[in-house]
Copies of this chain bind each other. A is one copy, B any other.
Amino acid sequence: MNAEHHAAGRPPQLALLVQGEDRRGLLRDMTAAIAAHDGDIWSVEILERGDRSRVFWEIDAVEDEKALEAALLEIDGVDSVQRMPTMYEVYGKRIIVVGGGAQVGQVAIGAVGEADRHNIRGEKISVDTIPIVGEENLANAVRAVARLPRAAAVVLAGSLMGGEVAAAVDEVREAGVLVVSLNMAGSVPDHADLVVTDPVQAGVMTVMAVASTASLDVSRIQNRRY
């Protein structure tokens, strides 16, 4: 499940930055070493290739971390294996705000202000935004939330959204993503988990719904309009 890996509220066990001389087959050798140590790969980001190779791995369920690090270091070309904080530890759960610039900015004000209050108490919540226009762009942005690491919720911040965007809302809810919509024209509010009229309040409530330090139970207010 996407929800289990990305939105479940826990980091992977291990993040490693592996550096060395690049060569053909290097990534495959690293994948094999991780598999040989029972590692579940959650994500791989190739930061550099060409002469040098820098690969950032997020891995779970490794039995012997030291043995995996040693095995990676033994791979031909690899000259350094560093532990890093996981992206979950650094940036935490993500709330994605999509829509018109005016509304996205106001939702961000609410969400950032509320995330600040939770992050000060040890939580990590980040608020990611993209102001865009057009049904296809919006539907793509909503659908892609299900493929974004650590995304827990999406806020639809516009004045008119329907059609493909509503279909995309159904899909990402199915994938376990919470969907909050501003009170707007079009069919999107009918498809959301929660509809909020004021954009600042929408940002605050979305963070409360996602934060483990808050006590807003979305299932109790589902399909309500505020």
Contacts and interface: CB of A to CB of B under 8 A. Distances in A.
A116 B141 contact: no
Nearest to A94: B128
A97 to B, nearest CB: 8
Interface stretch (A85-93, A179-187, A212-220): A85-93
Given A5-B46, A5-B47, A101-B117, A91 B130 contact: yes
Copy total for this chain:
2
A169 interface: no
A31 interface: yes
Interface footprint category on A? 35 or more
Contacts of A135: none
Contacts of A35: 24-25, 27-28
A104 B112 contact: yes
A112 B119 contact: no
Contacts of A116: 100-102, 104, 131
A113 interface: yes
Looking at A6, A112, A115, the one whose CB has the most chain B CB atoms below 10 A away is A112
Interface of A: 1-2, 4-6, 17, 24-25, 27-28, 31-32, 35, 40-50, 54, 56, 84-85, 87, 89-92, 100-102, 104-105, 108-109, 112-113, 115-117, 119-120, 124-133, 137, 140-141, 144, 146-149
